[in-house]
Amino acid sequence: MKGTIPVLFTQTVEGLHALKLPAMAKALQEQAEHPDYEALSFTERLGLLVTRELTERENRRLVRYLKQAKLRSDAVVEDVDYRRRRGVERRQVLSLAECGWVRNHQMVAIVGATGLGKTFLACALANAAIRKGHSALYLRAPRMLDELAVARVDGRFQRLVASWARVDCLVIDDFLLRPLNADQAADVLEVIEDRADQRSTVLTSQLPIVHWHEALGEPTLADALLDRVCHQLVRIELEGESLRRDQARHEQAIAPEKERPA
């Protein structure tokens, strides 16, 4: 826009800021500074402004949701390795990345020995959920149990569980790393109960699902918890050799001879 800036234009930009549309305001100023936009119709230019605002809002939402999720890994489904035979099927992962399981409030269990990429895959699915507009949160099971125990003592238990219940996709990593006592099993049941058929949960565990009942301790609590967990459960059972161990061998093999340990 050449010459003196029209009062109406200034008022429009100020109005967009007042309406909390900063991206549209910035895009309008850019259009005014580039004569190429003059060839476009009013509808086309307005469409570009709206698209800019929607894009900026989505980017801010992604940044905010990713920060709130506290994912242990910045994994994305596009980086999942299918070359090694470890029970990860491309078709299943790509289907999960569409997040129908989140919309249908299903649970996902990723089980397998340490080093097979359970946490990576869980965080990749949570990342995909965020990109589809869902909220997510990563919790490591041992620390989650400690936090629940402390919350029971200081009176925050219900508020804490309620806050987790509002998360669309909750990742509980290292589930049943150790057998649970009755109090811990009861706390986990509270978390799962509030989410069953309402929100989606991803559980990762080194322990095969067939051994979960025993590890949950008190039979009545175990029955109640597994009844909720296994309802429409999506299972990913990983197998094979540790990826970390394989990577370590690869790095050692390509290291210069002088850098290898004697």
* pLDDT at site 62: 87
Percent of the chain with pLDDT over 90: 62
* pLDDT at site 103: 96
Q: Give the model confidence (pLDDT) of 130-158 as tens digits.
A: 999 999 999 999 999 999 999 999 999 99
pLDDT grade, residue 243 (50/70/90)? Answer: low
Rounded CA-CA distance 244/242 in Å is 5
Q: Which of 5-19, 162-176, 244-258 has the highest mean pLDDT?
A: 162-176
Phi-psi region of 158 (alpha: psi -120 to 50; beta: other; left: phi over 0): alpha
Q: Give the model confidence (pLDDT) of 102-133 as tens digits.
A: 999 999 999 999 989 999 999 999 999 999 99
* Domains of the chain (ranges, CATH numbers): 7-68 (no CATH), 71-241 (3.40.50.300)
* pLDDT at site 9: 82
* pLDDT at site 254: 45
* pLDDT at site 258: 44
Q: Would you say the C-alpha torsion 213, 219, 223, 226 has a positive or negative sign?
A: negative
Q: Give the model confidence (pLDDT) of 63-89 as tens digits.
A: 999 999 999 999 999 999 888 778 889
Query: If we measure between CA atoms, which residue out of 115, 120, 109, 110 comes closest to residue 73?
Result: 120
pLDDT grade, residue 5 (50/70/90)? Answer: low
* pLDDT at site 244: 52
Q: Give the model confidence (pLDDT) of 31-41 as tens digits.
A: 888 888 888 88
List beta partners, residue 98: none
The side-by-side arrangement of strands in the sheet containing 136-140 is 136-140, 169-173, 200-205, 107-111, 234-237
Rounded CA-CA distance 178/207 in Å is 9
Percent of the chain with pLDDT over 70: 90
Report the chain's mean pLDDT, rounded to a whole number: 88
Rounded CA-CA distance 62/239 in Å is 33
Identity at 236, one-letter amino acid code: I
Rounded CA-CA distance 60/187 in Å is 34
- Predicted TM-score (pTM) of the model is 0.79
* pLDDT at site 45: 87
